[in-house]
């Protein structure tokens, strides 16, 4: 059994965070099971807008504390952004609904319908668990399964940002809506900040994979959170290829290469996290879904898999490759390609590979990202002809937005008025407005060239689309009848202008999450153009018994994908990380055999 130093001398609060796809949810759930089975009372809380804690345990978990039947002593809570926002709006509007004219109630409702309100509402529930310990007094430990890195850093900055804003700001707090009880909010935020920065009460568990990019992300995360005052941190390296996977059975180039690059990455852990207490967990031959699998994550069975070799099931009929998707895209000559999905599924890699292939064919291509944790330059490792790489940097966007507002709205104000406006622009809600404006500009540029957009993980992207919808509704109200106009949302809804590509992994939970994303997009009037299943062992056809056992778990998820979309590309897991133009170009190589005719499936 591996040593588990991250569980030694536990404080009351544990935060599991890291880059998407590193196994935060699995590790948080496994830790909750282990502690509960030791007789402790545990509350497992997800702050990820795309939470899948319920799927891991096979129970429905929502915005209320729910017992996990299979694990006595364990309760779970998924902070649902939409439910939280609805309750938040109701608490503000219901008391005055019968006292104000209908037009004013409608205006309040619209004011409280944006992404900023959703974030604040979710955050208020999160802070109550930290600031008011009476709400969790029945539990020995409270575990937080957080959103992917960029969204989590944004969330954890909020206690300090709102505390400072409410304490120092003298401007209009309109982005909060007509909120009552700011003193209570100030107290809650200050209490949450105190809990987060107290090493006796809170431990940060940085979850990573044995990969260069993931370890670098863990180091960047720790540096940013350390600046916020969170110093009690442990590093957990999850999913390390077990030694027997390489040494048992016939030689497998893929297994050897993956094992070798993992060891090289672990030998060069970034300085920022090298000195942290470290726990290493092996990769399992199966998905970590269900209580038995969660137990094995922290107490793995390292018995080699017996011969004969497990058979590999071929991908479903009709699956294609990434090159053929680019062939279909190229015919339009321009347009927006949005790669969407949960963190860690390879959106950045797929976006970079598609952009690189289009540029290699002579098209002018803009490759950009809305993901605060994305690093396109690291993926490309150098410039490419016809390819421009940019990033929607929230800090740059916020600064530019504030300057524009001060130069326009502030131009006619006196010194006192400008001071009030400047204070109002310090609101954390300014961030979403600023990023939305840059996002809108990128959408507009796709009229004349290819724009490949690597989006933030699902939850953050849905907040951005919420802002896009709010803007569309506002413009629609303001335009006179019969006027012609095109909003960013209308461009996203037009399949001739925008191709949405959902990226996922051939695993049960990522596919379920991608299906939920497709359903969310449908409610916004957006239909995915294609799916990409990344890092498939089935497509790689390994000979290692361990990797073949892993590959067999892909059969059911791949069959589900075939039912969800007519156009699907499947990419093999590569022996070497797809970093740099040469490696990325391997993802758009033509397949050896042409695909079979597509099976009948749902659009």
Q: Is the pLDDT of residue 305 over 60?
A: no
Same domain, 208 and 335: no
243 and 326 fall within a common domain: no
Asked if the model's pLDDT at residue 158 lies above 70, the reply is no
Residue 451 belongs to what H/E stretch?
Answer: strand 450-454
404 within domain boundaries:
no
**Which range has the top average pLDDT, 158-172, 432-446, 501-515?**
501-515
pLDDT value of position 433: 62
419 within a domain of the structure (yes/no): no
| pLDDT of 321 higher than 50 | yes
* Token representation of residue 106: 């409608």
Residue 28 banded pLDDT, cuts 50, 70, 90? very high
Give the Cβ contact number of residue 91 at 10 Å: 13
Structure tokens at 374: 């994305």
What average pLDDT does range 427-455 have in this prediction? 75
pLDDT band, residue 467 (cuts 50/70/90): low
* Same domain for 107 and 160: yes
For 358, the domain range is 322-398+426-588
Tokens of 338: 């949005």
- Give the helix/strand (H/E) hosting 294: helix 291-298
Residue 430's pLDDT is what? Answer: 59
In this prediction, residue 72 has a pLDDT band, given cuts at 50, 70 and 90, of: very high
| Whether residue 120 sits in one domain with residue 22 | yes
CATH number at residue 88: 3.40.50.300
Minimum mean pLDDT among 298-307, 345-354, 369-378, 593-602: which range? 593-602
Task: Tell me: do 27 and 122 sit in the same domain.
Answer: yes
**Residues 294, 367: one domain?**
no
With the C-alpha atoms ordered 503, 81, 119, 527, is the resulting torsion angle positive or negative? Answer: positive
Confidence of residue 571 (pLDDT cuts 50, 70, 90): very high
Residues in a beta bridge with 389: 367
Tokens 């361990």 locate to: 546
Q: 188 to each of 160, 184, 269, 317, 429, how far by Cα in Å?
A: 11, 6, 37, 55, 18
368, 454 Cβ separation under 8 angstroms? yes
157 or 539: which carries more pLDDT confidence?
A: 539
> What's the pLDDT at 603?
42
Two structure tokens written together for 144:
């937080």
pLDDT at 207: 94
* pLDDT greater than 80 at residue 131: no
Mean pLDDT rounded to a whole number for the chain: 79
User: How confident is the model at residue 544, as a pLDDT?
Assistant: 84
For the cut 70, the answer to whether the pLDDT of residue 415 exceeds it is yes
Same domain membership, residue 326 and residue 293: no
pLDDT by residue (tens digit) across 220-241?
888 888 887 888 999 999 999 9
Q: Could you tell me which residue, 69 or 160, shows the higher pLDDT? A: 69
**Residue 308, preceding bond cis, omega within 30 degrees?**
yes
And the tokens for 512? 């379920």
Angular region, 568: left φ>0, alpha ψ -120 to 50, beta rest: beta
What percent of the chain shows pLDDT beyond 90? 28
If you average pLDDT over residues 332-340, what whole number do you get?
89
Q: Give the pLDDT of residue 543.
A: 84
Residue 385 burial (CB count, 10 A): 7
Phi/psi at 227 (nearest 5 deg)?
A: -65, -25
User: Averaged over 153-178, what is the pLDDT?
Assistant: 48
Question: Residues 454, 351: contact at Cβ < 8 Å?
Answer: yes
DSSP H or E stretch at residue 531 = strand 530-536
Q: Is the pLDDT of residue 281 over 60?
A: yes
Is residue 397 scored above 90 in pLDDT? Answer: no
What is the DSSP-derived secondary structure letter of residue 95?
Answer: G
60 burial class (0-12, 13-18, 19+ CB within 10 angstroms)? exposed
- HSE-up of 485 (CA within 13 Å, CB side)? 16
Beta strands in 331-447 (DSSP E): 335-340, 365-369, 387-389
153-167, 186-200, 410-424, range with the lowest pLDDT? 153-167
Cα gap 420→55, rounded to integer Å: 47
What is residue 327's predicted lDDT score, i.e. its pLDDT?
94
Rounded distance between C-alpha atoms, residue 508 and residue 492, angstroms: 28
Q: Which long-range contacts (CB under 8 A, 24 or more apart) does 179-182 make?
A: 179/92, 180/92
Model confidence at 288, pLDDT cuts 50, 70, 90, reads confident
Same domain (yes/no): 274, 333: no
pLDDT, mean of residues 582-603: 59
Query: Angle at the Cα of 16 (from 15 to 20), degrees rounded to 5?
Result: 140
Residue 242, in any domain of the structure: yes
Q: How many domains does the chain have?
A: 2
Residue 482 is predicted with a pLDDT of 56
Q: Tell me, yes or no, whether 413 lies in a domain.
A: no
Give the residue numbers marked as catalytic: 21, 23-26, 48, 509
- The residue-averaged pLDDT of 12-33 equals 89
* 37 CB neighbour count, 10 Å cutoff: 15
- Is residue 528 predicted with pLDDT exceeding 60? yes
Tell me: do 218 and 140 sit in the same domain: yes
Local confidence band at 124 (pLDDT 50, 70, 90 cut-offs): confident
Strands (E) across 110-227 are located at 141-145, 202-208
Query: With pLDDT > 70 as the criterion, what percentage of the chain qualifies?
Result: 74
pLDDT, residue 75, reads: 96
Query: What's the pLDDT at 380?
Result: 74
Which has more confidence, 40 or 250?
40
User: Of the ranges 86-95, 143-152, 210-219, 458-467, which is most confident?
Assistant: 210-219
Does the residue 312 lie in any domain?
Answer: no
- Name the least confident of 171-185, 518-532, 554-568: 171-185
Sheet holding 74-78, edge to edge: 66-67, 74-78, 42-46, 141-145, 13-17, 202-208, 233-240, 278-282
Same domain, 272 and 338: no
Q: Is the pLDDT of residue 270 over 60?
A: yes
DSSP secondary structure code for residue 251 in this structure: -
Residue 130 has pLDDT above 70, yes or no: yes
In a domain, 452, yes or no: yes
Are the C-beta atoms of residues 182 and 166 closer than 8 Å to each other? yes
Q: Cα Rg for the chain, rounded, in angstroms?
A: 24
Task: Tell which of 257, 283, 298 closes a domain.
Answer: 298
31 CB-side CA count, 13 A: 29
Same domain, 330 and 286: no
The whole-number average pLDDT for the span 396-416 is 80
Q: Tell me, what's the pLDDT at 273?
A: 95
418 assigned to some structural domain: no
Q: Report the distance separating Cα 437 and Cα 546, nearest Å.
A: 48
Please check whether residues 127 and 262 belong to one and the same domain.
yes
How much helix, strand and coil, in percent to the nearest 5, is found in the chain? 50, 15, 35
* 407 located within any domain: no
């Amino acid at each position: 059994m591996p040593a588990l130093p991250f569980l030694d001398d536990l404080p009351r609060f544990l935060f599991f965070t890291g880059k998407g796809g590193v196994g935060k949810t699995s590790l948080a759930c496994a830790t909750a099971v282990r502690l509960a089975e030791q007789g402790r009372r545990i509350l497992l809380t997800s702050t990820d807008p795309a939470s899948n804690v319920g799927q891991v345990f096979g129970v429905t978990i929502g915005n209320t504390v729910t017992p996990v039947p299979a694990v006595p002593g364990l309760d779970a809570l998924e902070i649902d952004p939409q439910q939280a926002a609805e309750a938040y709006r109701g608490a503000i509007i219901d008391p005055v609904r019968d006292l104000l004219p209908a037009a004013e109630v409608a205006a309040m409702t619209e004011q409280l319908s944006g992404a900023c309100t959703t974030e604040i509402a979710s955050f208020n529930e999160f802070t109550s668990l930290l600031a008011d310990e009476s709400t969790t007094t029945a539990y020995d430990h409270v575990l937080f399964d957080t959103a992917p890195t960029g969204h989590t850093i944004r969330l954890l900055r909020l206690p300090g940002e709102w505390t400072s804003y409410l304490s120092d700001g003298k401007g209009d707090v309109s982005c909060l809506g007509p909120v009552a009880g700011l003193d209570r909010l100030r107290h809650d935020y200050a209490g949450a900040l105190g809990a987060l920065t107290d090493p006796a009460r809170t431990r940060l568990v940085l979850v990573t994979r044995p990969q260069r990019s993931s370890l670098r992300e863990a180091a960047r995360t720790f540096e940013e959170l350390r600046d916020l005052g969170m110093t009690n941190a442990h590093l957990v390296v999850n999913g390390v290829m077990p030694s027997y996977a390489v040494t048992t059975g016939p030689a497998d180039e893929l297994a050897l290469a993956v094992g070798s690059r993992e060891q090289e990455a672990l030998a060069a852990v970034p300085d920022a996290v090298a000195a942290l207490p470290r726990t290493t967990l092996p990769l399992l031959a199966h998905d970590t879904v269900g209580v038995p699998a969660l137990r094995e994550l922290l107490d793995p069975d390292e018995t080699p898999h017996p011969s004969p070799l497990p058979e590999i099931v071929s991908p479903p009929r009709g699956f294609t490759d990434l090159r053929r998707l680019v062939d279909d895209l190229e015919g339009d000559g321009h347009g927006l390609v949005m790669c969407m999905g949960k963190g860690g599924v390879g959106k950045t890699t797929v976006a970079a590979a598609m952009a690189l292939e289009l540029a290699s064919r002579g098209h002018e291509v803009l490759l950009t990202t809305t993901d605060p944790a994305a690093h396109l330059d690291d993926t490309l490792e150098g410039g490419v002809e016809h390819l421009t790489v940019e990033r929607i940097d929230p800090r740059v966007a916020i600064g530019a937005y504030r300057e524009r507002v001060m130069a326009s709205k502030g131009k006619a104000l006196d010194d006192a008025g400008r001071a009030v406006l400047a204070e109002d622009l310090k609101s954390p809600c300014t961030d979403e407005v600023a990023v939305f404006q840059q996002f809108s500009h990128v959408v507009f540029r796709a009229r004349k060239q290819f724009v490949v957009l690597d989006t933030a993980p699902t939850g953050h992207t849905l907040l951005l689309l919420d802002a896009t919808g709010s803007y569309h509704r506002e413009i629609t109200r303001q335009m006179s009848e019969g006027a012609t106009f095109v909003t960013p949302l209308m461009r996203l809804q037009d399949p001739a202008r925008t191709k949405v590509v959902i990226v996922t992994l051939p695993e049960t939970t990522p596919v379920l999450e991608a299906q939920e994303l497709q359903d969310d997009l449908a409610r916004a009037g957006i239909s995915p153009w294609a799916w990409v299943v990344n890092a498939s062992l089935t497509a790689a056809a390994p000979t290692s018994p361990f990797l073949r056992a892993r590959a067999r778990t892909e059969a059911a998820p791949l069959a589900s994908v075939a039912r969800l979309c007519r156009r699907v590309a499947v990419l093999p897991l590569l022996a070497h990380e797809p970093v740099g133009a040469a490696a990325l170009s391997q993802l758009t190589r033509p397949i050896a055999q042409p695909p079979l005719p597509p099976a009948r499936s749902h659009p």
